[in-house]
Amino acid sequence: MSYVSWLTYGYGICVSDITDVSMERLKKLISMAPNYQKKLQGWLDDRGISEPSYEDYLESDQDYMLGLATVLKEVILETEDIDLEACDSHDGTEYLLYVPDYPWNQGKHRQLMTEESVVELFQKYVSILTDEVIGIDYQSVGNGN
């Protein structure tokens, strides 16, 4: 018998702390990334969902089931060309992290060079979803804790 675990380190947010997001705010976030919005609409159309709920949008990530973390990741990737890591812990708590990367990967997407620029990025997009202050800090997320 074997056991596989993982641990992701980075600087970011606990997406599960973002609560009570309105459909209006979620749609505003998604509309910032037209290609992602089209992909989501295609997913909804394929399932015959003509009036999607908040949960319908979050369920579009059928690969990892990371909901709002995936939505934020995809919008930021398209609008800012910054690739963040969406992940969850062993208890299902969702995170979005700016993770350290190998030097040979750094030319693929735009890199942020200061802690302040990472904080500004998260604040910009989280403020679209909620007026609550969401903590931005170093995170260690694992599935075997």
Max CA pair span of the chain: 48
What's the average model confidence in pLDDT over 9-14? 97
Q: Give the pLDDT confidence score for residue 95 in this predicted structure.
A: 96
Q: Give the pLDDT confidence score for residue 36 in this predicted structure.
A: 97
pLDDT digits (tens, 9 = 90+) for 49-62: 999 999 999 998 87
Domain layout of the chain by residue ranges: 7-142
pTM score above 0.85: yes
What's the average model confidence in pLDDT over 63-71? 90
Q: In which band, very low, low, confident or very high, does the pLDDT at 123 lie, cut at 50, 70 and 90?
A: very high
Alpha-carbon distance of 11 to 33, in angstroms, equals 23
Which two tokens mark 81?
């060309």
Residues sharing a CB contact under 8 Å with residue 62, sequence separation 6 or more, in sequence order:
none
Does 145 have pLDDT greater than 60?
no
| Of residues 106 and 124, more confidently modeled | 124
